[in-house]
Chain A
Amino acid sequence: MGLKIIVLAKQVPDTRNVGKDAMKADGTVNRAALPAIFNPEDLNALEQALRLKDKYKGTTVTILSMGPGRAADIIREGLYRGADKGYLLTDRAFAGSDTLATSYAISRAILKLEKADIIIAGRQAIDGDTAQVGPQVAEKLGMPQITYAEEIISAEKNKIVVKRRLERGVETVESPLPAVITVNSSAPACRPRNAKLLMKYKHAKTITESQNASEDYINLTADRPFLIIPEMSVNDIDADAKWLGLTGSPTKVKKIENIVFQAKEAKRLTAADDEINDLMKELIANHTIG
């Protein structure tokens, strides 16, 4: 029996390689200066879903991403790796959402999709680092949640067994299905994009993206309906406007401080004897050692 899995994935600015233009003067993230990538732990989550798909015949993996139009890239990246379908949850009304409003919108969207057995997300996104959206989605859907997952050991007979990575070790827990799982970066890295899947899905577009597409593309989608990435807006998810976007977000930013790292100039040494010698002398001279 196949499982129905939804993977929650977010497009984030790549905060791992931050240059000096990463922040704007007002203290917000300068998204234009940072490349947009698939949130790293969401890739770990996708890999767990794809492994279940490899293991249990008939399993389908659906990506759900909330974000602006360009977040369709995330859906395509997921399709290239083996996801079966993707939905982009996108609407101006979602702008300014904090974790509460985000999890509300996502949970409403999940209810509109085919009933899922497992919802898998990354532990947290590298832009906000809150780790709240996964657990909040579970709460809103009334599902049990397993956080810090490192490996989904099995998902059979309405029961899921998961290994969790905790601060002082690992524990293996069990939960009834459906359930929400959030995955750690210590879980296996996601498989690479597959050549055939990439060639199959590279023309996949959302309705919005296809508005500027050529006639050739329109003709192509007539034969290949899988090239259409469905979009969901506020109107598609039966949401109450007061829980959405800025109005639905109780989190208020009180103050932003610019932290300037005071690190001194770095020094590069090779393994050569003379350089190590010099370093020893220097460290003894400034009483770091000795």
Chain B
Amino acid sequence: MANFFTDNPDLKFHLTHPLMKKIVALKERNFADKDTFEYAPIDFEDAMDSYEKILDIVGEISGDIIAPNAESVDQQGPKIENNEVVYADGTKQNLEAIVDAGLMGITLPRKYEGLNFPIVPYIMAADIVSRADAGFVNIWGLQDCAETINEFASEDQKERYLPRICKGETAAMDLTEPDAGSDLQAVELKARYDEKTGQWYLNGVKRFITNGDAHISLVLARSEEGTHDGRGLSMFIYDRNHKALTIRRIENKMGIKGSPTCELVFKDAPAELVGSRKMGLIKYVMALMNGARLGIGAQSVGISEAAYREAIEYAKEREQFGKSIIKFPAVYEMLAVMKSKLDASRSLLYETSRYVDLYKTYMHISEERKLEPDERKEMKKYQKLADFFTPLLKGMASEYANQLAYDAVQIHGGSGFMKDYPVERIYRDARITSIYEGTTQLQVVAAIRGVTTGGYLLRIREFEAMPLKPELHGYRRTLIIMTDEYEKVVKAVTDVNDLEYVDFHARRMVEMAGNIIMGYLLLLDTERDTKYKTSTDIFIKRGKADNHAKANFIFNSSIDDLGNYKHNDSE
């Protein structure tokens, strides 16, 4: 009888952020659906009440079904039978509950049988489910693909595919190939258009495909013969009913073992083109990836939540030298730092989700009517913020999830190394978050633009101008000092005018920006609720020291140092 939504007041705190009023009004087009759909909200309060009640269902399913199944799912895992993926028994049970509860297609419009929820409550559901079982969220969270179909597919395709997702069919995004991982421009899977049948056919291999045997798959393929870069790639929908796919194997992974990671062979598989040719990678995959990265952000925060809870419970119970180990400074410091990282990354998660909500909703509205000039300006602003914040979130939150999982095992001592406690699984599950959907190193490549264009700085200065209670001004002064230092660092690095030198320091600078941004977000959370003051205090003080060390390193380095780090084959 556990409920992972109601037992965690931080979730409701983020759900009820003041900006939600605007998000909900836009998303619901001023509540126009209420006359057409019996389940549409009549006003803002009604909509918020619905989000909360539906998250209560998610919390109940997560606490009562998904979490208790996590161990057996981890042990049993999926298998291939007659060229089909068969989920572990627990996964089947989880999925059945989720489908019965109508929790597929959460963000899709009601006309396709979705719930028309904003991104914020959807991401919150992913946060909750991930705490219960990080592997399961992959199967459920691939409804992101439906969002891409909703954005770019034709009306006819939307009408045929989206209701199927809402009824409980699963999705997959088939991007990676044996020789095209981080570098998706190298995708070789062939798409051939047959003039006679007027049909596209896919041939080739995809690898590391999460939920590869999904009902509906989005496939990135080379439609332009003779091309070798991203401009020759298009996006296709493959429907499992065609049975033109061989599941060659399921990977034996370190973690998230319940989520089937497949190697697929397409053999003359009929497929439908999505949107325009040649836009596959340039436009659609970028949108898909941004959605997926936000999802990994949620997964990371959910894992951090699970790790923190396991750690604190164990530290209270475990007695050594005649007292609970939580009484020892070495342990309580670890726990307090874990909590501050958890709070910080969750705050960044929902801030980013709100940006995505605002710009995507404006974008959908712009397909219905012309936007007013100030609306267009807002859309642009939030789109930029979403682009800057998504890689920052994905990078920072996934690294924190790994740090929290590491510390949680450490607090368990020898017991944490055994399979007897959930932390062992959490530790393995966490590891993938900083790798897939773009490694942390690739998130830095995307996020560095926020540093060099001044995008982060602009937002930081906006945070700086937001009203604060007098007792919190001291923290702001610290953050201003950190910001000035950050500006100097960025100037020092960019003044060298060498791209490789920027890349060399990129992660340091992105993390410095991240420390300041999360510091402000926690401070603004504390403005709304003083219970975040402890985490704010810890996070800002540690962030200041961390930034200072990074600045120190950067000021004492020069472009000549790079040679020391470069691997030299002749040696």
Contact = CB atoms under 8 A, between A and B. Distances in A.
A196 interface: yes
Contacts of B337: none
B39 A199 contact: yes
Contact of B41 (A191, A199, A270): A199
Chain A interface size, under 10 / 10 to 19 / 20 to 34 / 35 or more: 20 to 34
A272 B57 contact: no
Contacts of A226: 38
B1 to A, nearest CB: 8
B416 to A, nearest CB: 12
Interface stretch (B48-56, B139-147, B321-329, B450-458): B48-56
B101 A193 contact: yes
A196 B57 CA distance: 12
Contacts of A17: 1
A192 interface: yes
Given A191-B97, A272-B415, A196 B39 contact: yes
A191 B64 CA distance: 12
Contact of B50 (A199, A223, A271): A199
A193 B57 contact: yes
Contacts of A216: 42
B100 A192 contact: yes
B373 to A, nearest CB: 35
A270 B415 contact: yes
A192 B61 contact: yes
Contact of B317 (A200, A202, A268): A268
A276 interface: no
A112 interface: no
A195 B415 contact: no
Nearest to B40: A199
Interface residues of B, number: 27
A234 interface: no
Nearest to B60: A192
A220 B42 CA distance: 9
Contacts of B103: 195
B49 A202 contact: yes
A192 B420 contact: no
Contacts of A220: 42
B101 A195 contact: yes
Contact of A196 (B1, B60, B102): B102
B493 interface: no
A203 to B, nearest CB: 8
A194 B100 contact: yes
Interface in B93-131: 97, 100-103, 106, 115
A93 to B, nearest CB: 34
Interface string A206-246: 00000000001000100110100000000000000000000
Interface string B34-76: 0100111110000001100110010011000000000000000
A29 interface: no
A195 B115 contact: yes
B93 to A, nearest CB: 10
A271 B415 contact: yes
A196 B414 CA distance: 47
Contacts of B100: 191-192, 194
Interface in A163-205: 191-200, 202
Contacts of A223: 35
B237 to A, nearest CB: 25
Contacts of B1: 16-17
B381 interface: no
A191 B53 CA distance: 16
B318 interface: yes
A262 to B, nearest CB: 26
B33 to A, nearest CB: 11
A192 B415 contact: no
B47 to A, nearest CB: 9
B105 to A, nearest CB: 10
A202 B53 contact: yes
Interface in B395-448: 414-415, 418, 420
Contact of B101 (A194, A199, A200, A270): A194
A189 B256 CA distance: 27
27 contacts: A191-B97, A192-B60, A192-B100, A194-B101, A194-B102, A195-B101, A195-B103, A195-B106, A195-B115, A196-B39, A197-B102, A198-B57, A199-B39, A199-B40, A199-B53, A199-B115, A202-B49, A202-B50, A216-B42, A220-B42, A223-B35, A268-B317, A270-B317, A270-B415, A271-B418, A272-B414, A272-B415
What 8 A-B pairs are tightest by C-beta distance, nearest first?
Answer: A199-B39, A195-B102, A192-B101, A191-B100, A200-B39, A194-B102, A200-B38, A196-B39
Interface of A: 16-17, 191-200, 202, 216, 220, 223-224, 226, 268, 270-272
Given A192-B57, A198-B57, 18 more contacts: A16-B1, A191-B100, A191-B101, A192-B60, A192-B100, A194-B100, A194-B101, A195-B106, A196-B115, A198-B50, A198-B54, A199-B41, A199-B50, A200-B39, A223-B35, A226-B38, A268-B317, A271-B418
